[in-house]
Amino acid sequence: MQIGLIGLGRMGGNIARRLIARGRHDVVVYGRNANEVETLGREGATAGSSLKDLVERLAAPRTIWVMLPAGPVTEDHVSELGDLLSSGDTIIDGGNTFWQDDIRRAAELREKGIHYVDVGTSGGVWGLERGYCMMIGGDKAIIDRLDPIFATLAPGIGQIPQTEGRDGRDPRVEQGYLHAGPSGAGHFVKMVHNGIEYGLMQAYAEGFDILKNANMDALPERHRFDLNVPDIAEVWRRGSVISSWLLDLTASALAKSEALETYSGFVDDSGEGRWTVNAAIDEAVSADVITAALYARFRSRKDHTFAEKVLSAMRHGFGGHTEPPSPEPVGQSKNHPTSS
């Protein structure tokens, strides 16, 4: 079927490619980067020269997939599309939008007769080949009409074993896409997905850190190990309880560079982890692990925190401790009888 696609970054470009290559869909694209538009044009997409031009190239009822950075950029484009589109048309937001924004937008657009579908899209740069896992929010009738799009983007059953006891359940789920609920539900589920992702990543990261430091000088010599971290990551992929796709990626990175020296250790966060914690708090659910993972990222982006200086000031206050101006080698700390 025909679909417009706005935003041709790492995700959007590959979504266009998969729609064209696997689904023979008629894809009209528009993005800020003229090179990328042109490239996709050569790969079978119709190139739009502006948002307006893209809209005009689509037959009613139009469907436009917006794949842009969440926040103001997406907001502006959805808003502009709301003015350009007509009753019966549909806007899909496939980015990582905050789910409460979806609820608001859907209500605003509904007044114009425009449908709004929020799609949490997982798969990253691998989606072109591996397919995208999609969590979808919006009206059932519209989502059913868009089924050919979702079916093409989804990974399909592939070689992943089927789960027993799913007879009678929605078969689309096994293809890799889910109508999660009304507007906002798609991004809500995707948000929790990313919150879990933070926790999983941090669990692996801590484990590898413990392995890496198992040979530190501060340990008694008989309790030290020089461990081969890349080999450990690899062996865990095979038959262990903790095998996962994230572990596959880690093993791959470690095989290239045991010390991961090309990474600074500065770790960004992209919003969903924060919103997941906010949701947990609204529900009075204890989300210790997801929150700790988020905070570890916050901390990774700072040289030192004011909190740490407050700690040093207190220690100086009660014990006369003078924290060293530059860090000593880390590890087993000396014991001071003056500590309190």
Is residue 212 among the annotated active site residues?
A: no
Return the residues of window 254-293 that contact its own copies according to CB under 8 A: 254-256, 259-261, 263-272, 274, 276-293
Measured distance CA(183)–CA(90) in Å, rounded: 13
Burial 228-242 (b: 16+ CB within 10 A, else e): ebbeebbebbeeeee
Q: Are 109 and 116 in contact (CB under 8 A)?
A: yes
Amino acid identity of 67?
A: M
Q: Which residue has the tokens 């790492």?
A: 10
CA distances to 13, 27, 31, 201 from 38, in Å? 11, 13, 10, 37
Measured distance CA(132)–CA(75) in Å, rounded: 23
Shortest Å, Cβ 159 to its own copies: 7
Closer by beta carbon to its own copies, 108 or else 295: 295
Closer by beta carbon to its own copies, 146 or else 154: 154
Amino acid identity of 104?
A: R
Stretch touching its own copies by CB under 8 A, among 20-28, 79-87, 141-149, 162-170: 162-170
φ/ψ (deg, to 5) at 4? -95, 150
Q: Establish if 206 lies at the interface with its own copies (CB under 8 A).
A: yes
Binding mask 3-32 for its own copies (x = CB under 8 A): ----x-xxxx--------------------
Is residue 197 among the annotated active site residues?
A: yes
Closer by beta carbon to its own copies, 59 or else 223: 223
Q: Establish if 54 lies at the interface with its own copies (CB under 8 A).
A: no
Stretch touching its own copies by CB under 8 A, among 18-26, 45-53, 55-63, 222-230: 222-230
Q: Establish if 200 lies at the interface with its own copies (CB under 8 A).
A: yes
Closer by beta carbon to its own copies, 59 or else 72: 72
Q: Establish if 158 lies at the interface with its own copies (CB under 8 A).
A: yes
Amino acid identity of 58?
A: L
Shortest Å, Cβ 183 to its own copies: 10
Q: Are 167 and 258 in contact (CB under 8 A)?
A: no
